[in-house]
């Protein structure tokens, strides 16, 4: 009797490809980072020094690379270090960026999903159009827009709304504007993919039962688009936590995020073990909540 399933070798190949990809491009680099984070470089410039004594075979792990992240070297206080401040600042910026992208991107995605099928490809192309330009150029362009003599200030002064330039560059505003602009498509696309499959006759049924448009949207559309909201939120939040380019170009000295701190530790201070320890902790801050979330959502299903 014929079967529709793939032959065993083919099935193993299809299942194995994503696992090989994850091993080569995630697990293996992560293990290398983890190894370097326990290395004691000393006076050496080589970060791949052995962490065991070849004579005695005893492991020599430098836990101080992690200890300095959480404990201040001078006062000895826990969670009072510049690294913890950078982590918290990065999480705050990433969270605010994800929220702004959701507030702006949801109407965009809903409008595209409700538009005529003939115009949807053109609208989606407009969403993806920024990707045709270099990421660095797009971020750098915001310096010319938000600078004291930039486009925004020149227009406002030309209209007589303000008398002197407003400082927008190197502030929280410039950081959030730049990050929201860059990551907005990552919110719109998963939301659209979820909303376009929604049966809008459910809204018509809610209207027939006397529900107001807002209540129908809140009780019908939003719950049905929960998967798109979560996917978009994660696609924005995760890369935004470790963002480096935008804080470097648009952020001031008070807006340093953990990505910039890792860069400084690795290439300015040449302290690769501490830089990799910072990266490992950052990965853990992202992976552990994700694993817990998916564990409980899988149990609910």
- The helix (H) or strand (E) run that includes residue 61 is none
- Is the Cβ–Cβ distance between 173 and 222 less than 8 Å? no
pTM of the model: 0.86
d(C-alpha 177, C-alpha 139), whole Å: 10
Identify the burial level of 244 via C-beta atoms within 10 angstroms of its C-beta, where 0-12 means exposed, 13-18 middle and 19 or more buried. middle
Tokens of 22: 């994850």
Q: What are the b/e assignments for 200-216, b being 16+ CB within 10 Å?
A: eeebeebeeeebeeeeb
Residue 4 has pLDDT above 60, yes or no: no
Confidence of residue 278 (pLDDT cuts 50, 70, 90): very high
Residue 91 has pLDDT above 60, yes or no: yes
With the CA atoms of 124, 127, 128 and 129 taken in that order, what torsion angle do they form, in degrees rounded to the nearest 10? 110
Residue 133: helix, strand or coil by DSSP?
coil
d(C-alpha 260, C-alpha 250), whole Å: 12
d(C-alpha 7, C-alpha 187), whole Å: 38
Confidence of residue 291 (pLDDT cuts 50, 70, 90): confident
pLDDT at 122: 93
What does the pLDDT look like over 63-74, one tens digit per residue?
A: 888 988 888 877
Among 48-52, 107-111, 229-233, 292-296, where is mean pLDDT lowest?
292-296
What does the pLDDT look like over 129-175, one tens digit per residue?
A: 888 888 889 998 998 899 888 888 999 898 888 888 888 888 888 99
């Amino acid at each position: 009797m014929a079967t529709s399933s793939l032959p065993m070798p083919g099935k193993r190949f299809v299942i194995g490809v994503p696992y090989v990809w994850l091993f080569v491009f995630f697990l293996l680099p992560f293990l290398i980072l983890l190894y370097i984070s326990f290395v004691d470089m000393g006076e050496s410039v080589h970060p791949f020094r052995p962490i065991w004594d070849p004579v005695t075979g005893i492991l020599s792990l430098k836990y101080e690379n992690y200890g300095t992240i959480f404990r201040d070297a001078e006062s000895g206080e826990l969670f009072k270090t510049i690294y913890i401040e950078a982590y918290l600042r990065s999480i705050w910026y990433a969270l605010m960026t994800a929220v702004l992208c959701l507030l702006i991107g949801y109407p965009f995605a809903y409008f595209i999903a409700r538009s005529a099928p003939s115009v949807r490809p053109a609208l989606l192309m407009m969403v993806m159009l920024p990707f045709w330009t270099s990421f660095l150029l797009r971020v750098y362009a915001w310096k010319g827009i938000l600078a004291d003599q930039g486009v925004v200030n020149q227009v406002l002064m030309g209209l007589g709304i303000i008398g002197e330039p407003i400082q927008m560059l190197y502030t929280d505003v410039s950081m959030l504007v730049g990050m929201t602009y860059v990551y907005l498509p990552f919110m719109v696309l998963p939301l659209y993919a979820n909303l376009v499959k929604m049966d809008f006759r459910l809204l018509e049924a809610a209207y027939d039962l006397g529900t107001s448009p807002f209540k129908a949207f809140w009780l019908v559309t939003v719950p049905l688009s929960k998967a798109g909201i979560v996917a978009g939120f994660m696609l924005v939040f995760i890369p935004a936590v470790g963002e480096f380019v935008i804080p470097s170009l648009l952020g001031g000295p008070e807006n340093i995020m953990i990505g910039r701190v890792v860069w400084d530790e690795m290439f300015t201070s040449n302290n690769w073990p501490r830089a990799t320890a910072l990266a490992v902790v950052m990965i853990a801050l992202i992976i552990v909540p994700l694993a817990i979330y998916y564990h409980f959502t899988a149990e609910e299903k």
